Amino acid sequence: MSVLKPTIVLVHGAFAESASWNGVIERLRAESLDVVAVANPLRGLAEDATYVRDVIAGIGGSVVLVGHSYGGMVITEAATDNASVLALVYVDAFAPEHGESAFELSAKFPGSTLGEALTVYPVSSGGNELVIRQDKFHHQFAADVPAGQAALMAATQRPVTEKALTDPLPTDSPAWRTIPSWFVISDQDLNIPVAAHRYFAERAGARATREVPGGSHALSVSQPAEVAAGILDAVTAVSN
């Protein structure tokens, strides 16, 4: 009797876009898994989580939610009271507690240099948007990615609103308290210090943590095999 496997839903974070998962998608599809890479709006935590919930509803079956960076905020909120979500996988991602924001968590431990690399500009609808300066992108976001590829990533990065990064997690009990979680983290992440990643994983009671030596924040691009392996660990655990 065959085991019905969940769909993998990939949620990118700030300063990235869905194509950042391409290498991971190739490896997951090679394992006969269905995969959806969501175009995260990056407008606000509640809005972004609602969009991901709509994607999950459209799939109409069980899913494993995978978030990168700010995408960890989004999957934590989107998974709340959602019976379709079997597992959470955090890839260099925030795993917030009630009331915590990405902005707050990025400063919880020393080591992030993201603020020095950002450009902030106002938008007509109100508030500000943030992008990483293209001349800073390679070093800040994707130091272990070839320079030419990093330049393309810099040019196609999606801006994030200041609101999204400062919105606190509204749910009283984060989804990782009741849904099993896995972590794939980098020890050379300049956006979110590795000490923060280790803290998130320990606090969440992670089933397993993969730490990639020398990995940058762009782990899904530079080390897709490691990221895919972490996701497959989760799929195997919840499919048996």
pLDDT tens track for 32-79: 999 999 999 999 999 999 999 999 999 999 999 999 999 999 999 999
Residue entry with tokens 């709509």: 54
Residue 220 contacts residue 21 (beta carbons within 8 Å): yes
Give the residues across from 130 on adjacent strands.
120, 160
**For the chain, what is the mean pLDDT?**
97
C-alpha dist (Å) from residue 87 to 20, 67, 133, 147, 179:
21, 11, 34, 34, 6
**Is the model's pLDDT at 100 over the cut of 60?**
yes
- Cα separation of 211 and 100, whole Å? 24
* Active-site choice (20, 69, 101, 112): 69
Task: Give the amino acid at 23.
Answer: G
**Is the model's pLDDT at 1 over the cut of 70?**
no
- Protein fold of 7-239: Rossmann fold (3.40.50)
- Residue 2: the pLDDT is 42
- Does residue 220 have an active-site annotation? no
Residue 188 contacts residue 143 (beta carbons within 8 Å): yes
Under the banding of pLDDT at 50, 70 and 90, the label for residue 87 is very high
**Is the model's pLDDT at 132 over the cut of 60?**
yes
181-220, pLDDT tens digit by residue? Answer: 999 999 999 999 999 999 999 999 999 999 999 999 999 9
Give the residues across from 65 on adjacent strands.
9, 88
Under the banding of pLDDT at 50, 70 and 90, the label for residue 3 is low
How many other CB atoms are found less than 10 A from the CB of residue 103? Answer: 16
Task: Give the amino acid at 16.
Answer: A
Q: What percent of the chain has pLDDT over 90?
A: 96
**Is the model's pLDDT at 99 over the cut of 70?**
yes
Give the residues across from 179 on adjacent strands.
none
Task: Give the amino acid at 55.
Answer: V
